[in-house]
Amino acid sequence: MAGSETHYTLPRPSFDEAPKLLIVVAPYYKDIADQLVAGAKAEIEAAGGSWDLAEVPGALEVPTAIGMADRANEFDGYVALGCVIRGETTHYDTVCNDSSRAIQLLGLQGLCIGNGILTVENRDQAVARAYVDQMNKGGGAAAAALHLIALGRQWRRDGKEIGFKA
């Protein structure tokens, strides 16, 4: 059972200049989303960062909103949050796969994104993963974004640019 395993967690990164992140959440399951957001906010604030929040209709819209925000160039990183619970149709597979793939493609373009979109079989699994006093996957997604921001800043200081040159 995954809940009884122990996992190594990287130490929280520190920053000379406070990072600014955008939390993009699909609040389809509002109670779950609220817990994910609470965890993400707490982790960002603990690292000395600031955040803005954007809500979108569903998990498929999360990567689109991140892409739009990145073009505005105001954020150092992004936290993608939401919850997809398996239903009776294959729509679950489409939403899970396509939202994850789109976030991964944005990451490969150089965006610092922590993916906290839960993909679960039932509500109990969602609660266990979302709630701050349980698995706190929102906090984990924010931590992932913060680590990527820190890496990007470290490598840029070495005179190297990140990503492709036009």
User: Annotated catalytic sites, by residue?
Assistant: 91
Q: Report the candidate in 115, 146, 124 with the shortest Cα–Cα distance to residue 10.
A: 146
Q: Are 67 and 106 in contact (CB under 8 A)?
A: yes
For the chain, first and last CA: distance in Å?
A: 47
Other Cβ atoms less than 10 A from the Cβ of 20: the count is 15
Residue with tokens 């922590």: 114
Three-state DSSP class for residue 83? strand
Q: Give dist(CA 85, CA 129) in Å, integer.
A: 12
